[in-house]
Structure 1
Amino acid sequence: MKASLKGRYANEKNTAAATFSVNAGDVKLRASITDATLVDGPSLSDLTLAVEKPGSFTIDYDVPKKGFRFQFMNTVRVAEFPLKLTYIHSRGDNRTVFDGALMFDSANKVSANYTLGTGNCKLKYSYVHDEVTTFEQCYDWGKNAWDFAVSRRVYEDVFKATYQTWNSDLALEWSRNSKLNGTFKISAHMNLGEETKIPKIIAESSWDLEI
């Protein structure tokens, strides 16, 4: 059995989460909980059970909401380029999402995301320069706005800046993924359109354990 523990600190609230998974042949059984599950004693609040076959499908069951979420994945070839397709349907809120990513090579990727019945569609282009610097630009038809991001990897560290034009939100992020010390991420969010530009600081850390 594997366990993943995650802690999150923000200006106004601290949270925690845990995920337990066990391999059962080709599939993986998983249970996820958040801090709300243990508030005022153990409960089923925010408990999710899942069956997953990596690269093929995932079925989640939200225990308190009694709702299922289905996710199916497949890869096909389009003119010799791999196209990754994902279909997601949530029965609880009757929401269906289609997601696709077309890889032209190791540096260039185009992806699209569409929510059925809402008109919300996002188209994103990603370019990786020298395998360390990534440039991303995304157009959101629902908001009629662009999002821009640039990130750079320095050994185990990744530094990233993101800007959303529709709400003038600027985010700076520093993350590290270490097999010995776990994973952590520190980010600062600031709205450039507000008069009082007070950044929102979020720190997250997670550890993977073998049980």
Structure 2
Amino acid sequence: MGRKVSLAYIHAMQKRKMTVEGLMELNEENKVAVSHVVGTKDCNLRYTFARRKLVVVEPVYDFKDRAWAVAVSRSFDSGDAMRGSYEAKNRKLELEWSRTFTDKGSFKISASFMKKDQEIIPKIMAESTWSCNL
């Protein structure tokens, strides 16, 4: 049908775990992927929509936990990137901003908020890398 299909079989002998993964590209902007651990109910279905590779939307459904998650990311010509995600299973919201410089390195600032019982647990993190020539 003119569509790209990828299949992978992963056998982790020490963990006694077999995973089958499949990916089908509907077109340049739309992909559907499935991952299943053989012999279990562990199965994920992921849809990826990438608009001109600048905006990416990825909803995921986990059949084992009957829970969904969604991630949205946006890249900018300036080297900035923003990403937000939400996991319904853990009631977790994550936000991230990163910038990459061609000569200096990069940095990333991220925050996550997880709701446990009636309490919201915040987590804030900053990372930086430097690039230098010796």
Number of residue pairs matched by the alignment: 132
Q: TM-score, normalised by structure 2?
A: 0.82
Alpha-carbon distance between aligned partners in 2 of 1:165 and 1:136, rounded to the nearest angstrom = 14
C-alpha displacement of 1:144: 0.4
Residue identity opposite 2:16 in structure 1: N
Match of 1:80, SS state, is coil
Partner in structure 2 of residue 91 of structure 1: 13
Deviation at 1:154, TM superposition (A): 1.4
Q: 1:109 to 1:209 in 2, by over 3 A?
A: farther
Report what 1:18 is aligned to: none
Identity across aligned pairs (percent)?
34
Q: Which residue of 2 aligns with 1:106?
A: 28
Once residues 133 and 181 of structure 1 are traced to their aligned partners in structure 2, the CA distance between those partners, rounded to angstroms, is 25
1:26-41 aligned within 5 A:
none
Choose 179-188 or 156-165, whichever is displaced more: 179-188
Equivalent residue of 2:50, what SS?
strand
What does residue 82 of structure 1 align with?
4
Is 1:121 aligned with 2:43? yes
Partner residue in 2 for 1:187: 110
Helix, strand or coil: the match of 2:121? coil
- Counterpart among 191, 195, 198 of residue 121 in structure 2: 198
Say if 2:56 is the partner of 1:137: no
1:99-157 residue CA offsets vs partner (Å, 9 max, x unmatched): 22111222111111111222100001111224311111111001101111111111222
- Once structures 1 and 2 are overlaid, which stretch shifts more, 88-97 or 109-118? 88-97
Alignment of 1:14-53 (within 5 A): none
Larger radius of gyration: 1
Aligned-partner Cα distance in 2 for 1:82–1:127: 15
**Deviating runs (4+, > 4 A) in structure 1?**
204-210
Higher relative contact order (CA 8 A, sep 6+): 1
| 3-state secondary structure, aligned to 1:197 | strand
Partner of 1:100, secondary structure, is strand
* TM-score under structure 1 length normalisation: 0.55
Structure 1 unmatched runs, 5+: 1-78
Over the aligned positions, Cα root-mean-square deviation in angstroms equals 2.4
**Rounded Cα–Cα distance in structure 2 between residues aligned with 1:100 and 1:209:** 40
Structure 2 vs 1, CA of residues 208 and 102 (structure 1 numbering), >3 Å: closer, same or farther?
A: farther
